[in-house]
Structure 1
């Protein structure tokens, strides 16, 4: 039998009963964007957004796609985008709201993150006014479901060494996107297995025989009417994804696929019609990390979503431990609640404390992120 802790404070023993101001604690935990979080929770309480257990992967994927369309209509998904494009220029509030989507269905949160946090955000942050005018609206409204094709089978974290190439052809003013071998296939891409009709593809930009490093390109990959891959594009389904079966992860490869010169997302590097390369950032290394830095919101939001997942799990575990009774001890008739056992406390309370710490640390991270991206 596990040893018991001291009995809980009881006013009958002369000790004051512990009192927690729950409303104030909630106010503090929800942080600067508490109103945004509350609005998101109210929206996501709608059963239309909830995960339905027992669906096949195909059914779950289609349900999540329909839920994305609901978010477009009702979910304030454009908060991080510029006001002139229909957004609110609220980067911190956008992530705070996005992190709450996990409470409805983690698959929905991930698929929304791919569409707006990666695909559309890459067009916004790596493209210029021409791309915003031509391409961004479709990504923002889900008219063009998109994928973010960076990771390769042979290169994950080492993005600078990816092997996909984009070689400029001055005769046609096009880039030729090519996957030279199997390890260069783009892999683990959200939306790629089924729904994406375009992708932001990261590749080594080569012009006049010189490799200028990794750049991003807007590449159509499927016929939106038929869902079939366009000529030169090949793809495979990654299959079931544990805990995220509503996400259609897949892999892509390109066989000399041509895209117009103007579809290079050229905020940090451009190619003239004759093939001359220019960049406002002279250092290739600094240019590369500047490009990647504009996409950091995905990592910030996953930190917040992971913290929310821990909160949900602990609500269940602590509530159960505070209600479930097992064995008698001081009383011959009253069984002891699990949380009165020291071993149960040692298992749960450190995790509870860590999650409080994570919540406060994430709020500081979110504040810093908002400050940087708000200029």
Structure 2
């Protein structure tokens, strides 16, 4: 059987999308009358997964085949549901699928962990060019700062995503065990899952390519695994929801404080929601847990020259960016809500980059806060020192990547931005001896990497500064 989503019409009245079980083959495996099944043919990746198309022509099933947890058709043929709103009912039904997005985001990060593990282990084996005055032979790739810049910030981001993924997994379990969870909490979870899926899959596609290039021509050989990872991760950007649409969903949730999140996801709905909800609810979403609040408050009392590697200052920068981007977006859409349909559409269309930026800044802040919580919970002092550096590296890498915004809005001047750049370089050098331990901490055993080039020679564990796991 197939689970088929389609519009349910009862006595000429449409009730939105519902799910029905439809038999497609008989006991002998033959396709049933009225059903046509076709294969989609070769894809760009995931060759082991079948994708196809099913068409139905005058196929009938009994009403007992309707999945009826949230809506049903009674014995008299009447439509009944405890949820009056069609859109709310639809997204309540789809809420069970939130785990799919969480798994896709996690799967994308796991593919990236594998790629970073391969590229880092290769960089600890491969030597290239001799350094003047050194008798140790050619230089190990990972001793070059340019190579560290490719791999170590990516490693830090993977640890940050891991913390955020753990946090949302726990949250799913908590809400699943709660019979009457507040609708805002459920919507927030679904929105966070959408945002994490979008940023993790985008990061996967970008970083796997960087890892492929970091291994040179060897990375292009299929036997070394990186090209296959790149092909298989490509589709993550669009399945379980197109990333652009998912980020719009995140922004909409922020603008409405999750109270009316799931109306039609169109420009008119976004503008109307922003016009009604602009105010305290925008700032309300940026409130952090007590640990973060204490760190931010402590940083505010220190001179700016001392705060670059201060966790509170980093958190404050992420919070201020999110707050400003969201407030200005709400203001733009609020003005559009007072005009006609044409003006509203034009305003929203012109603000789409602003919408996506609001979503990304929100997810960045949530990821950093999850990472901070993970570091705070670490009881191994030696490991905590390394995690603390990784957290610094993640935070400063995000700030550097969006340095244009921070400069334009007078959060960081050009001189201080140079300090950010130098601090990232220093952190890469400090983390270089821990590179092997860090990739092993990503949880992908070397035997599972399936990369031929890693079997050619052992890691030179006597490289200056190298530390074993």
TM-score, with structure 1 as normaliser? 0.46
Greater helix fraction, Structure 1 or Structure 2: 2
TM-score, with structure 2 as normaliser? 0.37
